[in-house]
Structure formats: C-alpha cells, structure tokens
Chains A and B, each alone.
Chain A
Amino acid sequence: MKHCPKCQRTFPDDAPKFCGTDGTPLVSDAPHEAAHQARSEAADPIQRIRCEWCQGMNQTNAVSCWSCGAPLDIHNLVSESGWREAPRIKDMTEIHFGSSTCQVEGEIVPVAEINLATGDAVYFEHHVLLWKDEHTPMSVMPLQGGLKRALAGMPFIISLAHGPGRVAFSRDATGELVVMPLHPGMELDVREHAFLLASHQIAYSYVRIKGLRNILFGGQGMFMDRFVTTNEQGLLLLHGYGNVFERVLRPGESIMVEPGAFLYKDASVTMNVESQQLTTGWFGGTGMNLARMTGPGRIGIQSMYVHHSTD
C-alpha cells in the first residue's frame, strides 16, 4: 500500500506516483506494514507453537520453549521403538518459572543458574549447589520423617534458596539436564538423588519403596522422591547420567528396564522387580534383575548407570 502524507488517502501499490487529489508524492507503506505484521503475529493470541516436550505454548518467533528450554526449531528425536530423547537444551537458554528465570549453561555437565525473584524459592539437596550470591537467603526445609530417612544411612537435608538472588546448581557427571515443568495436578516419582532442584510450588515427599525385592534389587535405594503439584505450575529439574529417554506406556503396556537406568515415572506407572535366573551349568548361575514398568504413564531412563552386582 501507499498513502498520501498530506491527505492520508491510501492507494494500491500499482497506483501512480502522485496523489490524485492534491498531487503530493505518495509514500510506500511496505516496510512499515511488514514490521506491523510481524508484531501482530508475535502478539497474535491464536498462532502459537506448542512445545512437544512440555506442551507449553510459545510465540511463533521463539526459538526455544519459554518454560522448558527445548529448542523449537529442531524435530523431536524419537526412536522406532518409541523412546523420545530428552531435548538437548542449547547453551545459555533461559527458562521461566513464576517471576524467576533459570539459565542453562554448558553442554557436557550443564549448570542451572537461577535468578530468583522476591517471593520465589527453590529447594534442592545440598550436594548439587555450585555457587550462590553472598546474600541469597537460605533455609532448611522442615521434612516429615526426615530423621527416619537419615537413620537409613543417608544424611538427608533439603535446603531452600529464596529470592531475591542468584544460585547455581550442577551434578557430578556427564549427562543431561531434564527440565520438567509440572502442570497442576501432576505426580512424578524420581530416582533418589536424581533431582537437581524444584520450585516452591511443587510439594515434595518421598515414598518408601515397598517390597523386599524392590529394596534389595531395585537398584535405587529404599526411597523414591515424589513431586506433586496441586493448583500451581512448578518447575522441576532432574539430572540424568548420559542420555535421557522418555516413553509413554499405554494402560497395561509393560517394559523391562535395568533398575539402575530408571530415572523418573508418573505415579500411575507401577514398578516391580523381577528376577531371572541365568544358569551357566557349573556354578548355579547368576541372577539378573529387571524392573517391570507397567503403564499408563510416562517413564524416563538414563543411558549411563551404575550396574548393581546381582550375584
């Protein structure tokens, strides 16, 4: 479109160079229009990109997801057997939760750097703390029955960092940072010591793994961390050794997983350790334990794990 700067009449692009009413040279609207269109597209409430990892909605000009950091310009990597690789978060990607942000730095052993706003808080196990601002307030989370868990041989303290201030976390081995924005009403069970941090909207508890067989051979200790959201959305960061894969099991569908590889599952997925005796003929053989995970729900595994001696 073109318009007349004097009388403000508009003309089509193929119109003559001068205004038919007052003879003023016409001005083209094209660059202005393109900018306007881009702006309206970004602000358009209908056009959105859905993040395939966390289902979050993003503006069409976003390159990484607002709430989980997954790159939006790269296809999902799904193996033919149905495992989806956890998205590789681009270096320096920013993630948002509440009024705070989290920046993911590095790609081999990623660091999660949190910029906490006033009123927001994150909680974590003390061994994952990398650095913090001198004045970031800290406290200890009161835990029901924490003593019981401490008596089970594990010094167990959950610490809280409050805003305003910065605090950063990392783990001890090559792996992936798995960002799990938890929508309201979700329940997620996580392997002991695999969680890096969770925002204060998420309720934390732990479940004692039932059944002697699960405790002895389950490979993930006696407890599993359970994260529950009620009304508010929260952010949960996990660290998986090696690569992390997720798969959704249909109701009743089951899969056998090496217990050491288990990383997280929806609370609806059941876990049972089954033992298979492998006979070698001479020495009675050796046992192999695999966890049968039965749907419905998501299950996450890590590709590098500590193999637990089974014989």
Chain B
Amino acid sequence: MSGYHGNPEHPSTPPHRTHTCAWCGKVSDGASLSCAACGATLDVKEISTRSGWSELPGRKDMAKLQFGNSFCQVEGMYVPVADFNLAPEDSVYFAHHVLLWKDPQVNITTMSLKGAWKRLLSGMPLVMTQAQGPGHIAFSRDAPGELIALPIQPGQAVDVREHIFMVATSHITYDWFQTGIWFRTSSGNESETHYPVGMFMDRFFAPQMPGLLLLHAAGNVFVRQLAPGQTILVKPTALLYKDPTVQMQLHIEKPSGTQRSWRTWGNRYLWLRLFGPGRVAVQSAFKHMEDNGRNISGHSGASTVSW
C-alpha cells in the first residue's frame, strides 16, 4: 500500500511518499525497497489465496532490518541466515543450536529462566542463551524455508509452537504454557500419551518496548486472520504461531471403511481446530505425525466425526 501526500501549504516542497508494510504495518519512507522492521519487499503486491490465506511476503536477499540501534541482515534464500550487528546496549536470546557464527568478542551467557526445571523434567533440554553487543552474531536453522520477522508492539503477544523459535530481542519476554492438547493410546496394559502440537507452547510478549522476533519455518508460510467464532482445521505439525486469543481443540475424523482392519482402528485424521478471533500461521512442510493406529483411550476435549 502506498500513499501520496502533497504538502498543500508549501507547494514548492516535493510531495512526500510513504509506504505502509502490508505484513507488519510499519510506515516507512518511499526510498527503501524493503521494510526496515520486517524485511518484506515493498514493491510487490501482497499475495492472498482465494480461500483467504496470505503468503508471507517475499524478501530480497540481503534485506536489512533495524531494531533499537542494532541491525539484522537476512542473507540467502534457501536456508536464510540472520546476521545481527548488535549495538553495545542491545542483546538477543536464542536456542543454542541455531548459532551459526560469531565474532570472538561477542559474549554468550545462559539466560536464567524461571521454572525451567519444570520443562527440563518433562524431558526437554532447554538452554536459552543470550548474546550481548557490540559485535556480529548470526543464526540459521536446519531446513530449507523462510525466515519470519515478527515485530511485536508493546502489549502484544504471540504463541509459537515449540522448536520454531530462532531468536528474539531482549525487549521481548519469554514464557511457555502447556498446550493441553493430548490423546492417549492403549494396547493391553501399555498406554502412551501423545502431544500433537507439543506439550508446551512458547509465548513471546513485549511488555513496554517494541521488539523483534525471528522464527524459522520449513517451506512456505501462510497467515490468515480468523473472525470471532470462525474456525479452521489445520494439521497440528503445520501450525507455526497464533495470537493468544485463538483457542485450540483436538478434532478426530475416522473414515468408516477402514475400521474393520484386524490390527488397528484404521486410518484417522487428527486435526487441530483453531477458534478465532486472531491470526494463525501455518508452514507448508511439516513433520510426519506419529500415529501408531492404536485405540484412543482418552484425550483432551475433542470432537469426533465418523464418515
């Protein structure tokens, strides 16, 4: 979107041209081809499917984002690298396995996380590490895909499925909550609990200052805005992030034709139902969901349909 504002009082001054980024809403001057807050290309129209999903806007190679006095350059198109140039007063935190390279003088420390042991006990080693400027430090992930820059405004929060997070600026707080989405399968005395969207979900919140959150998605990224009460079913492992206002529920569909199989209850579809209002984002490449096909003996609140 672009506006063209002439100055009526001083007809001699050239008209001032601004761009509003369709992705993050940041208003910038018309001089730059990339949004300074999220790196989205500004000279290309926003792409939406007929069903209402918007594609993550394209990003030019070497696009530069700014936060505080620091910069982040996004390099590469297959597996993008986020290359931070940190100012002395700025710092970022990240999951330690995403680090690609750093200047020797950039110091890395662990972040104290309250209640981290609770998460550790549940079987997930979680080390959040922090890097303090000045200096360069760069991050990348292990799958071809897209780098999502989410500028978070004061008072705004976003819920991210675990292991999607790459790096965030220190103005954003990090917390997590139990997803409450689970089902249990049993075979004889053996029972197993499954968490289709993970046991925990990460929540990022900007209390006072705007911050920058970088996520990495496999494949392409699509976002849509759900109206209040509107629902959509998505593959649980394809979910990337959602607004905290979006509620989740399990939904099971059973094709009737396969139920007579001697070994299993047949193929079934496990869906995640998302309730509006709010944004939801999905990725196009996702992990295969493990389903041993055993009888479901219990689950979190869910709806079931046989067809």
Instruction: Give A residues with C-beta under 8 Å from B.
Output: 77, 79-81, 83, 85, 108, 174-176, 241-243, 245, 254-258, 261, 276, 278-283, 285-286, 288, 290, 292, 301, 303-307, 311
Contacts of B101 in A (CB 8 A): 255-258, 261, 301
**Further contacts, 13 of them, CB under 8 A, given A79-B83, A242-B79, A292-B104:** A80-B83, A81-B85, A174-B78, A243-B78, A255-B102, A256-B101, A257-B101, A278-B129, A282-B120, A290-B99, A303-B79, A303-B80, A304-B78
Does the CB pair B104–A254 fall under 8 Å?
yes
Q: How far is the CA of A278 from the CA of B75 in the complex (A)?
A: 28
Q: Assess A81 versus B140: contact at CB under 8 Å? Given A175-B78, A257-B101.
A: no
Complex Cα gap A258–B140 (Å): 10
A-B pair count, CB < 8 Å, reads: 115
* Distance between A70 CB and nearest chain B CB, rounded to angstroms: 15
Interface string of B60-74 (1 = CB under 8 A from A): 011010000001010
Contact with A along B110-132 (1 / 0, CB 8 A): 10100011001000010101000
Minimum C-beta distance from B81 to chain A (A)? 5
Name the residue of chain A whose CB is nearest to the CB of B97.
A307
Q: A242-B79, A288-B108 are in contact. Are A79 and B62 (CB under 8 A)?
A: yes
| In the complex with contacts A176-B78, A257-B100, A306-B110 CB distance below 8 A | no
With a CB–CB cut-off of 8 A, which chain A residues contact B112? 281
Contact B96 A80 (CB under 8 A): no
Tell whether B203 is near chain A: CB-to-CB under 8 Å: no
The answer to whether the Cβ of B76 comes within 8 Å of any Cβ in the partner chain is yes
Q: Which of A85, A261, A282 contacts B76 (CB 8 A)?
A: A85
Q: How far is the CA of A281 from the CA of B99 in the complex (A)?
A: 22
DSSP class of B's interface residues: helix, strand, loop or mixed? mixed
Answer whether residue B19 sits at the interface, using C-beta atoms and an 8 A cutoff. no
A193 to B100, CA, bound (A): 20
List the A side residues contacting B140 at CB < 8 Å: 242, 261, 303-305
CB-CB under 8 A from A301, the residues of chain B are 100-101
Known: A282-B120, A307-B97. A81 touches B138 (CB 8 A): yes
5 nearest interchain CB pairs? A242-B79, A243-B76, A304-B79, A303-B79, A303-B140
Closest to A84 in B: B75
Name which of A85, A276, A280, A286 has the most chain B CB atoms within 10 A of its CB: A280
State the CA gap A277–B260 with chains docked (Å).
55
B81 and A243 form a contact (CB under 8 A) = yes
B85 to chain A: which residues have CB within 8 Å?
Answer: 80-81
Q: Which residues of A contact B79 (CB under 8 A)?
A: 174, 241-243, 303-304
Compute how far the CA of A303 lies from the CA of B166 in the bound complex, rounded to whole angstroms. 14
Contact A243 B80 (CB under 8 A): yes
Q: Contacts of A79 on B, CB cut-off 8 Å?
A: 62, 73, 75, 83
Q: Given the complex of chains A and B, what is the CA–CA distance between A245 and B140 in angstroms? A: 13
Tell me which of B77, B78, B99 contacts A258 (CB under 8 A): B99
Taking a contact as CB atoms under 8 Å apart, the answer to whether A304 and B144 are in contact is yes
Query: Which chain A positions have C-beta within 8 A of B171?
Result: none
Residue of B nearest to A306 (CB): B142
How many angstroms from the CA of A191 to the CA of B244 in the assembled complex?
44
Say whether B289 faces chain A, with CB atoms less than 8 Å apart: no
Q: In angstroms, how far is the closest chain A Cβ from the Cβ of B20?
A: 26
Q: Does B161 count as interface, using CB distance less than 8 angstroms?
A: no
Cβ–Cβ < 8 Å partners of B96 in chain A: 278, 286, 288
Q: Does B242 contact A (CB under 8 A)?
A: no
14 A-B interface contacts by CB (under 8 A): A80-B85, A85-B75, A242-B76, A242-B79, A243-B75, A245-B75, A245-B76, A256-B102, A258-B100, A261-B140, A301-B101, A303-B80, A304-B141, A304-B142
Q: A83-B75, A288-B96, A288-B108 are in contact. Are A77 and B81 (CB under 8 A)?
A: no
Please, which residues of chain A bring their CB within 8 A of the CB of B142? 304-307
C-alpha spacing A305/B73, complex, angstroms: 20
CA A257 to CA B101, docked complex, whole Å: 4
Which residues does chain A contribute within 8 Å of B75, judged by CB atoms?
A: 77, 79, 83, 85, 243, 245, 303
Question: Chain A residues with Cβ under 8 A from B78's Cβ?
Answer: 108, 174-176, 242-243, 303-304
Contacting pair B125 A77 (CB below 8 A)? no
B73's contact among A80, A280, A290, A303, by CB below 8 Å, is which? Answer: A80
Question: Is B290 positioned at the interface, with any CB of A under 8 Å from its CB?
Answer: no
Interface flag for B273 (CB, 8 Å): no
**For the complex, is B136 an interface residue (Cβ under 8 Å from A)?**
yes
User: Which residues 126-177 in B have Cβ within 8 Å of A in the complex?
Assistant: 127, 129, 136, 138, 140-144
Q: Which of B64, B83, B99, B102 contacts A83 (CB under 8 A)?
A: B83
User: Do A81 and B117 touch across chains, with their CB atoms under 8 A apart?
Assistant: no
CA distance A276 to B62 in the complex (A): 30
**B125, A81: Cβ atoms under 8 Å?**
no
- B89, CB-defined interface residue at 8 Å: no
Contact of B136 among A81, A85, A175, A242 (CB under 8 A): A81
- Are A303 and B100 neighbours in the complex by a CB distance under 8 Å? yes
